[in-house]
A and B are shown apart, each in its own frame.
Chain A
Amino acid sequence: MHGTHPTAPEADPKEAIDDGWVVAGRRFNSRLIVGTGKYRDLPQTAAAIEASGAEIVTVAVRRVNLSDRAAPMLQDYVDPARYTYLPNTAGCHTAQEAVRTLRLAREAGGWNLVKLEVLGPPPLLYPDMPATFEAAEALLRDGFEVMVYCADDPLAAQRLEAMGCVAIMPLGAPIGSGLGIQNPAMLSMMIAQAKVPLLVDAGVGTASDAAIAMELGCDAVLLNSAIAHAREPVLMARAMRAAVAAGRLAHLAGRMPRRMGADPSSPLTGLIR
């Protein structure tokens, strides 16, 4: 872009600073939500979450192991007073199971903000949208604030939003696949229509995937395996933190147009002959 000033004069300087995002009336600075599963142990979980800079962490609800009372608990390593716990319904394959799980989560944690996911069978674990609608309706009626994992289906997203879900969270690729953002065009269309935060949830494999999701205009990214299954999870957590921040800034900055062909970066005038 030779011949123009490097900063756009009409740009609002405030827009260059990311002042965070709001979901269900709560403001968060970090646009990275991380899962707490699949780590080697709880100390590694704590270290990776710390390095990610995340303020919201997803957690699962499971039976207490009554045969090993001395087993360390997640809360001892990931302080619920410091991090917003977002209980999920992982492993739930019916609306009834999901609603039951989140009612228990609300009693255990004492808050209403939850992540709903109702999944179809392996190996895809693709969102079961009819069951998701059913569970979302029951949860919303029961006073929950529902962040909902869903298919990259604009009509489903609109319906969930109209029902009152507080965030729409389509997949970028199947859960745990690490395939990256396979559906940028569809996600862009969903972002354009969304009036509540839209997050990519599932599919991110490495830092560039997270950056791509943010460049598309997502409000935040939710991931777990990409950090937990990296060779060095804590290092990857730092990478994800940087990638999400970079992707957000790039989105705010507005990328240059693509063109088929070259455009010289140096002036063509004043060349020596």
Chain B
Amino acid sequence: MAGWGCGPEPNFKLTHYLVGTEWGDHIRGMSDPLTLTLNGEARLLAAPITLAALLADLGLDTRKIAVERNEAIVPRSAYGAVWLAPGDALEIVHFIGGG
């Protein structure tokens, strides 16, 4: 999906494989953190991470939501191919009661 991902390539990033381990925490502490805006709030994430991985971490059912990244819709089929980049602004929405 050229054009979607502007984050780093995923392969062989220790931070990706060691998230949640003592080693991972140590290494991540030395690397640049990924800061982005999620529904208007700043978030610090362990990079690299795809949109699909973030949504899974958030426990969201992707069938019930829509995502906008930097004011452009991300098609559901592209979640796995979108690598989040520093400064990204994400809007994650769903349907609620309304008149």
- Chain A residues packing against B (C-beta within 8 Å): 35-39, 42, 45, 58-64, 66, 69, 73-75, 85, 87-88, 90, 100, 103-109, 175-176, 223-225, 228
Contact of A108 (CB < 8 Å), options: B39, B59, B65: B65
Not counting A62-B96, A66-B38, a sample of 13 additional A-B residue pairs whose C-beta atoms are within 8 angstroms of each other reads: A37-B97, A45-B97, A59-B98, A60-B95, A60-B98, A61-B98, A74-B96, A75-B64, A104-B66, A107-B66, A108-B94, A108-B95, A176-B99
Asked if residues B95 and A74 are in contact (CB atoms below 8 Å), the reply is: yes
Kindly state the separation between the CA atoms of A87 and B95 in the bound complex, as whole angstroms.
8
- What are 17 A-B interface contacts by the 8 Å CB criterion? A35-B99, A36-B97, A36-B98, A59-B95, A60-B96, A64-B60, A64-B65, A66-B41, A90-B98, A105-B66, A107-B66, A107-B73, A108-B66, A108-B95, A109-B95, A223-B99, A228-B99
B88 at the binding interface (Cβ < 8 Å): no
Q: A59-B98, A103-B73 are in contact. Are A73 and B91 (CB under 8 A)?
A: no
Asked if residues B66 and A60 are in contact (CB atoms below 8 Å), the reply is: no
B92 at the binding interface (Cβ < 8 Å): yes
Kindly state the separation between the CA atoms of A107 and B95 in the bound complex, as whole angstroms.
11
Of the listed residues B38, B68, B95, the one surrounded by the most CB atoms of chain A closer than 10 A to its CB is B95
B75 at the binding interface (Cβ < 8 Å): yes
- Nearest B-chain residue to A87, judged by Cβ: B95
Kindly state the separation between the CA atoms of A107 and B66 in the bound complex, as whole angstroms.
6
Contact of A104 (CB < 8 Å), options: B61, B64, B91, B96: B91
- Nearest B-chain residue to A36, judged by Cβ: B97
Asked if residues A108 and B99 are in contact (CB atoms below 8 Å), the reply is: no
User: Taking the nearest CB of chain A, how far is it from the CB of B19, in angstroms?
Assistant: 19
Size of the B side of the interface (Cβ < 8 Å), in residues, is 26
Q: Which residues of B are found within 8 Å of A223, using beta-carbon distances?
A: 99
Asked if residues A73 and B98 are in contact (CB atoms below 8 Å), the reply is: no
Kindly state the separation between the CA atoms of A74 and B61 in the bound complex, as whole angstroms.
13
Of the listed residues B39, B41, B68, B99, the one surrounded by the most CB atoms of chain A closer than 10 A to its CB is B99
B76 at the binding interface (Cβ < 8 Å): yes
- Nearest B-chain residue to A101, judged by Cβ: B93
Q: Which residues of A are found within 8 Å of B71, using beta-carbon distances?
A: 100
User: Taking the nearest CB of chain A, how far is it from the CB of B16, in angstroms?
Assistant: 22
B40 at the binding interface (Cβ < 8 Å): yes
User: Taking the nearest CB of chain B, how far is it from the CB of A123, in angstroms?
Assistant: 16
B58 at the binding interface (Cβ < 8 Å): yes
Q: CB within 8 Å of A: which of B62-98?
A: 64-68, 71, 73, 75-76, 91-98
Q: Which residues of B are found within 8 Å of A176, using beta-carbon distances?
A: 99
Kindly state the separation between the CA atoms of A104 and B99 in the bound complex, as whole angstroms.
18
User: Taking the nearest CB of chain B, how far is it from the CB of A127, in angstroms?
Assistant: 14
Q: Which residues of A are found within 8 Å of B66, using beta-carbon distances?
A: 61, 104-108
